[in-house]
Chains A and B, each alone.
Chain A
Amino acid sequence: MNRTLLLFAFVAVLFLGTGMLQSWNSALGILNMALISAIMALGVNMQWGYAGLFNVGVMGFVALGGLAVVLTSAPPVPGAFAAGGWGVLGALVLGAATIAAAIQVWRRLPKGAVRTLALLAVLVVGFFAFRTVFDPAVAAIEAINPALFGNIGGLGLPVLLAWPAGGLLAAAAAWAIGKTALGLRSDYLAIATLGIAEIIIAVMKNEDWLARGVKNMISLPRPVPYEVDLQRSAAFVDWAQTWGFDPMTASAIVVKLCYAGLFGLVLVAIVALTELALNSPWGRMMRAIRDNEVAAEAMGKNVTRRHLQIFVLGAAVIGIAGAMMTTLDSQLTPGTYQPLRFTFLIWVMVIVGGSGSNWGAVLGGFLIWWLWVMVEPIGLTLIGTVTAGMADGSWLKTHLQDSAAHMRLLTMGLILLLVLRFSPRGLIPGR
């Protein structure tokens, strides 16, 4: 426990130091993303640390959380749903029915050429039926004022509701993935989730009717006041001036603090729930399954089912974090979802923090996110010192200075390799 406290104190010093040396505004900015990263790391840790499931599709679940924000809380587009909403929904139901029918054909018919042909027929007919219903509906939606909308629009609900909705959406996707890919070998699950994440991003980039694709959704609603409104309110300006703050900076900091409070609440709730779960009979069962699947199976535990359960739960936590991130940015930009940033960085957090330990995941989230942001300025300073002796305008100097920005990946990779080699159980080892 002492070690845990010391490590968290160290991270706190890092954030406080950033606040004092740079600015409180940027320190809080890093803190907000660190809180979200910690929640993502908790989700991955549930899947990996509790059950040994190797999910490298974190990015996809994060993006689905973001999509949920658009679908629940963006203002409705007038006439869009009437134009093609039912068509799209009908087409999606038709698509699901096709897959269900294909599964039934495969299960019910005896093995042989007849079954293969029937399966192909169901899939081909289903695909064309889907396209016949889907395409005109999509065209109708995308025709509505494409410069501004062109999407189906949201429900206009409060944005806080979008967080659980993000969790649900990610959980639903995880269920579908888990049903097909769990029970296969561990590397296959990794490759399957890698693929699913790429497909989710491709869908979000290209299906303009859903969330405008790469045209991006901007100015999504926020759960906290706007800086401009604060600066306009006389009461706030008075308050800031009595304490001797500049109203501009104060408004930015207050908004960030509001976010930090909300995110902190979610983080505390999730940590509390996961800790309770881990120390319950269910948690002991999960660890027993992770440590010895064969023995657990012999004791009558349904391993595949438990794996599916934990996979869905972990994905839901990641989805909630994804929705929170989109709320923080108040925009959804599918082009910015990169696997290195949203999948592998989260993995570095989990491994460095300590797999199987919730506090470790939280610590890893804070520490690695801080490093990820700070490596760039640190790298620039380092390169600056190295190149100080070189002649100005020399080829090597310019090149080194331009490349300093790419130090991040190198540093993260080295940290991951060093931790795996010298402290494979992470900073706060799990049990």
Chain B
Amino acid sequence: MDILNALVAFLNFVFVPGLAYGAQLALGALGVTLIYGILRFSNFAHGDTMAFGTMVTILVTWALQSAGIGAGPLPTALIALPFGIAATAALVLGTDRAVYRFYRKQKAAPTILVIVSLGVMFVMNGIVRFIIGVEEISFADGERFLVTAGEFRAMTGLQEGLAIRTTQAITVVTAIVVMVALFWFLNRTRTGKSMRAFSDNEDLALLSGINPERVVAVTWILAAALATTAGVLYGLDKSFKAFTFFQLLLPIFAAAIVGGLGSPIGAIAGGFVVAFSEVTVTYAWKKVLTYLVPADWAPDGLVQLMSTDYKFAVSFAILILVLLFMPTGLFKGKSV
């Protein structure tokens, strides 16, 4: 029995990675849910919007690095992030003007908009591949660790180490800042309130003089900012590859639906539910259990419920369960 070591092993291998991953998913799901709430369609191009924003941020990071500008112990990408957000916002506003607005005026069915977003996804994916290629790019610099496993062991004298990477800490802190700012914006500002009114009842909002084009534009800018931040944090934490962001689409959608499409607080909760389920189901619990049970009870196998390759299956299973038993999600989203 060694509860402290078991706890540290749990924190190190399950809680900290799950927290960082959950924050990234939550930011992605917030973008999806905002678009759904205001524009009323599932945006399949969201993953590639993330890829585009991350790509611009990487390019700016390289430029900053070659100019000798850095952020000290923090990754240079954090300075480059606003440029990435600006470029992505310009791109999605342009896309809205050139593509989506036509269908909005027509009041096209949501499925048509989803197919249109597939086309946008192709184009954005093509642009990203065209500009930066398909190779794996690692762009994190600065301090690698906040606390290394060795330091932690020396500090506490425990057998297990707890390593916290800088990128994980930055992810969580940035996510909290962004979420607080978003909720302040939605609940306290005039524009934010008009967005919520528009999402609740479009006709009533129009009658009370809310300018729909303005609401839509602000929504796209917010979605671009959220997507770029999520993409950059994910890229810093893991690495950037043109098509990994497409694969994130499924857990992101799962998170948004689990929380209730259209509900921002639901998207955050959904992100953490999906992330922690993925990590707990695919983690090999042998290490933690060995500390917890008497020595001769120690498990022989890995005590892994499912192999890591099936993490998609986990987000999917949660998605199906929620759809079957709670179709509007945990936080009562919309169901059109």
Contacts and interface: CB of A to CB of B under 8 A. Distances in A.
A187 B42 contact: yes
Given A195-B312, A199-B313, A416 B122 contact: yes
B110 interface: yes
A397 interface: no
A347 B118 contact: yes
A327 to B, nearest CB: 27
Interface stretch (B18-26, B54-62, B206-214, B315-323): B315-323
A105 interface: no
Interface in A175-218: 180-181, 184-188, 190-192, 194-196, 198-199, 202, 205-206
Nearest to B311: A202
A403 B133 contact: yes
Interface stretch (B123-131, B150-158, B223-231, B291-299): B123-131
A350 B124 CA distance: 21
Contact of B130 (A127, A348, A410, A420): A410
Determine which residue in B125, B126, B250, B305 has the highest number of CB atoms from chain A within 10 A of its CB, and name it.
B126
Contacts of A301: none
A351 interface: yes
B253 A402 contact: no
A411 B122 CA distance: 8
Interface in B269-319: 305, 307, 309-310, 312-313, 315-316, 319
B66 interface: no
B99 interface: yes
Interface string A344-365: 1001100100000000000000
B309 A206 contact: yes
Contact of B42 (A190, A195, A414, A421): A190
Given A198-B312, A202-B312, A413-B126, A344 B118 contact: yes
A188 B127 contact: no
B110 A187 contact: yes
A90 B247 CA distance: 33
A111 to B, nearest CB: 11
Contacts of B336: 185
Interface in A404-431: 406-414, 416-417, 420-421, 424
A253 B57 CA distance: 50
Interface in B84-114: 99, 102, 110-112, 114
B153 to A, nearest CB: 35
Given A187-B114, A198-B250, A202-B309, A412 B122 contact: yes
B267 interface: no
Nearest to A199: B313
B116 interface: yes
Nearest to A196: B316
Given A195-B316, A403-B133, A184 B111 contact: no
A214 B65 CA distance: 39
B82 interface: no
Nearest to A413: B122
B327 interface: yes
Nearest to A190: B114
A241 B319 CA distance: 63
A418 to B, nearest CB: 9
A417 B123 contact: yes
Contact of A194 (B119, B125, B249): B249
B130 A180 contact: no
B313 A202 contact: yes
Contacts of A206: 307, 309-310
Interface string A111-123: 0000000000000
A52 interface: yes
Given A195-B315, A199-B316, A409-B129, A181 B122 contact: no
A54 interface: yes
Interface in B170-201: none
Contact of A191 (B42, B102, B124, B126): B42
Contact of B323 (A127, A181, A348, A412): A181
B116 to A, nearest CB: 6
B310 A52 contact: no
25 contacts: A52-B111, A54-B114, A184-B323, A185-B336, A187-B114, A188-B257, A190-B114, A192-B316, A192-B323, A194-B253, A202-B310, A340-B125, A348-B122, A406-B126, A407-B130, A409-B122, A410-B127, A411-B126, A413-B119, A413-B122, A413-B123, A413-B126, A416-B115, A416-B122, A421-B99
Interface of A: 52, 54, 56, 127, 180-181, 184-188, 190-192, 194-196, 198-199, 202, 205-206, 339-340, 344, 347-348, 351, 402-403, 406-414, 416-417, 420-421, 424
Interface of B: 41-42, 99, 102, 110-112, 114-116, 118-127, 129-131, 133-134, 246-247, 249-250, 253-254, 257, 305, 307, 309-310, 312-313, 315-316, 319-320, 323-324, 327, 335-336
Closest 9 CB pairs between A and B? A413-B122, A410-B126, A413-B123, A409-B126, A416-B119, A195-B316, A406-B129, A417-B119, A187-B42
